[in-house]
């Protein structure tokens, strides 16, 4: 009998990757799909980083690296943390992994026990909940809405905490909402956490460089939080290196050590060529990737302008990342071209079937009134996509 484990049977499929796969499949069948589903820059990796990878191949970087990453890469990461985030880490506090997703999974595996609760300010990235459950913890959503710019309040945080709370995920700039927490807002949340010393914080800052002026404040820069915060980052989004799979953490040394031990049994060190190229990426001045950020900024404004003209799309102004997360609850209960829209999944499916536009339902992010649209696509595709949506809804 084909009997999979309970663990895998209870794991939901990643909604972002599932939608991307569906869009790919439909394209292969000849359908003219525009995919706004996956959060992935549409730029090529910058030449200077590619050159570094080629050099690494020619320099015969073909052996296993240390499990937690090459020492000189970990030193570069420490310099980056100091330069961009005013965070002091030493190389023993750094673990390099196969993408920030593995970094997060490592942290969950080494900190969570069955019965622990993970606090998820919603909307949250789809995999936080799944990774928590995989670590036999349960998760508690702390809801927000477009009316509060998708931010939670200190009062809400306080109310969600129980004796079982072990971990909280912060993600700013946020996937899917693009929201950025200010230093002041983070300090107010930290005040609550100060009263609960058993709670650890994952601060996922993978979108830090894709921000349109507000700047990024690192949670670990709050002195009282440094000893219990794990700062997660990587090169995928800022340097258009999604497929290179390099993520990393800066963490209290005992947590980094545990992640190192876990990784040593599961994957060993991350890809050595990609690690070498990451040194070049992180050592470069941040201005080198400014052209991509400027382009995302421009596209954000176009998308907000065009979507804002469609009745029923309620928008906030995302300050970072490359997603818009409109509240489309206006359409719930309506029938459009014979399709009854009961929820965000129905709406997302309607857009796929009637407009050939792939989006991701907000239900996957703990925000059932919304859908996520990535604007990491060309301006031409974005204009065409929104035009099709408008026509489908007309
Ligand atoms: N983080 C990206 C997204 O949310 C990539 C896909 C994934 O890993 O979920 O679309």
199 CB-near residues (< 8 Å, 6+ apart): 119, 161, 165, 166, 167, 168, 193, 228
Taken in order of first residue, the domains within the chain and their CATH numbers are 6-44+289-393 (3.90.1150.10), 47-284 (3.40.640.10)
CA of 299 to the centre of ligand 1 (A): 19
Measured CA to CA in angstroms, residue 58 lies from 244, 320, 381 at distances of 18, 37, 38
The residue whose CA has the least distance to atom 5 of ligand 1 is: 39
Residue 18 dihedral angles phi and psi, to the nearest 5°: -65, -45
Q: Note the pLDDT tens digit of each residue in 292-338.
A: 999 999 999 999 999 999 999 999 999 999 999 999 999 999 999 99
Give the mean model confidence (pLDDT) for residues 227-251.
98
Average pLDDT over residues 127-138: 96
Compute, in angstroms, the gap from residue 337 CA to the centroid of ligand 1. Answer: 31
What is the C-alpha separation between 253 and 250, in angstroms, rounded?
9
Does residue 47 sit in helix, strand or coil?
helix
Q: How far apart are the CA of 14 and the centre of ligand 1, in A?
A: 8
Task: Name the pLDDT band for 124 (thresholds 50, 70, 90).
Answer: very high
Please tell me the number of Cα atoms within 13 Å of 309 on its side-chain side.
12
Residue 215 has pLDDT above 90, yes or no: no
Q: What is the pLDDT of residue 214?
A: 76
pLDDT of residue 130 exceeding 90: yes
Read off the pLDDT of each residue in 183-206 and give the average, rounded to a whole number. Answer: 98
Structure tokens at 293: 């950020």
Query: What confidence score (pLDDT) does residue 311 get?
Result: 96
Q: Is the pLDDT of residue 122 over 80?
A: yes
pLDDT for 348-375, tens place per residue? 999 999 999 999 999 999 999 999 999 9
Question: What's the pLDDT at 36?
Answer: 95
Instruction: Kindly state if the Cβ of 175 falls inside 6 Å of ligand 1.
Output: yes
**Average pLDDT of every residue of the chain:** 96
pLDDT tens string 32-58: 999 999 999 999 999 999 999 999 999
- For residue 385, CA distances in Å to 49, 151, 201, 295 come to 32, 28, 38, 18
pLDDT digits (tens, 9 = 90+) for 149-181: 999 999 999 999 999 999 999 999 999 999 999
pLDDT of residue 73: 98
356-365 in b/e form (b: 16+ CB < 10 A) is bbbbbbbbbb
Residue 213 has pLDDT above 90, yes or no: no
Q: Record the pTM.
A: 0.96
Counting ligand 1 atoms within 8 A of each CB, the residue from 21, 123, 127 with the most, and so the one to mutate, is 127
Q: How confident is the model at residue 344 (pLDDT cuts 50, 70, 90)?
A: very high
Q: Name the 3-class secondary structure at 298.
A: helix
Q: How far is the CA of 59 from the centre of ligand 1 (A)?
A: 32
For strands 247-250 and 94-97, give the pairing.
antiparallel
Q: Judging by DSSP bridges, how do beta strands 339-341 and 334-336 pair with one another?
A: antiparallel
Segment 65-76, tens digit of pLDDT:
999 999 999 999
pLDDT band of 282, cuts 50, 70, 90: very high
Q: For residue 387, is pLDDT > 80?
A: yes
CB 386 within 8 A of CB 310: yes
pLDDT at 91: 98
Q: At what angle do helices 272-283 and 71-85 cross, to 10 degrees?
A: 30
User: Is the shortest distance between the CB of 171 and ligand 1 below 6 Å?
Assistant: no
DSSP state of 274: H
Residues whose CB falls within 8 Å of the CB of residue 315, separated by 6 or more in sequence, listed in order = 146, 304, 307, 308, 324, 326, 327
Residue 121: how many CB atoms within 10 A of its CB?
26
Atom of ligand 1 nearest to the CA of 360: 10
Residue 1: what pLDDT?
87
The string of pLDDT tens digits covering residues 76-105 is 999 999 999 999 999 999 999 999 999 999
Note the pLDDT tens digit of each residue in 325-337: 999 999 999 999 9
């Amino acid at each position: 009998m084909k009997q999979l484990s309970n663990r895998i049977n209870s794991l939901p499929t990643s909604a972002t990757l599932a939608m991307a796969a569906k869009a790919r499949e439909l394209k292969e069948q000849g359908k003219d799909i525009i995919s706004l589903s996956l959060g992935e820059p549409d730029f090529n990796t910058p030449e200077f980083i590619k050159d570094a990878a080629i050099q690494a191949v020619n320099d015969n970087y073909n052996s296993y690296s240390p499990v937690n990453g090459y020492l000189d890469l970990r030193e570069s990461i420490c310099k980056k943390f100091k330069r961009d985030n005013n965070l002091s880490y030493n190389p023993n506090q750094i673990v390099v992994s196969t993408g920030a997703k593995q970094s997060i999974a490592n942290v969950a595996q080494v900190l969570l026990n069955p019965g622990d609760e993970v606090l998820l300010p919603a909307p949250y990235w789809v995999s936080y909940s799944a990774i928590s459950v995989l670590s036999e913890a349960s998760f508690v959503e702390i809801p927000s809405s477009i009316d509060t710019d998708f931010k939670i309040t200190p009062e809400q945080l306080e109310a969600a905490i129980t004796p079982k709370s072990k971990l909280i995920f912060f993600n700013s700039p946020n996937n899917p909402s693009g929201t950025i927490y200010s230093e002041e807002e983070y300090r107010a949340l930290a005040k609550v956490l100060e009263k609960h010393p058993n709670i650890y914080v994952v601060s996922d800052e993978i979108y830090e460089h894709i921000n349109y002026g507000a700047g990024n404040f690192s949670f670990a820069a709050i002195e009282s939080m440094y000893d219990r915060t794990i700062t997660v980052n990587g090169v995928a989004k800022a340097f258009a290196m999604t497929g290179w799979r390099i993520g990393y953490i800066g963490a209290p040394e005992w947590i980094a050590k545990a992640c190192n031990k876990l990784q040593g049994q599961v994957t060993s060190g991350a890809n050595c060529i990609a690690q070498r190229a990451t040194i070049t990426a992180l050592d470069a001045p941040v201005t080198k990737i400014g052209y991509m950020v400027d382009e995302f900024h421009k596209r954000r404004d176009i998308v907000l302008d065009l979507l804002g003209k469609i009745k029923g799309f309620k928008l906030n102004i995302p300050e970072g990342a490359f997603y818009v997360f409109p509240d489309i609850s206006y359409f719930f209960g309506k029938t459009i071209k014979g399709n009854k829209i009961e929820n965000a999944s129905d709406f997302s499916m309607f857009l796929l079937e009637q407009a050939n536009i792939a989006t991701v339902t907000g239900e996957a992010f703990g925000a059932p009134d919304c859908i996520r649209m990535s604007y990491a696509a060309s301006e031409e595709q974005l204009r065409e996509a929104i035009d099709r949506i408008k026509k489908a809804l007309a």
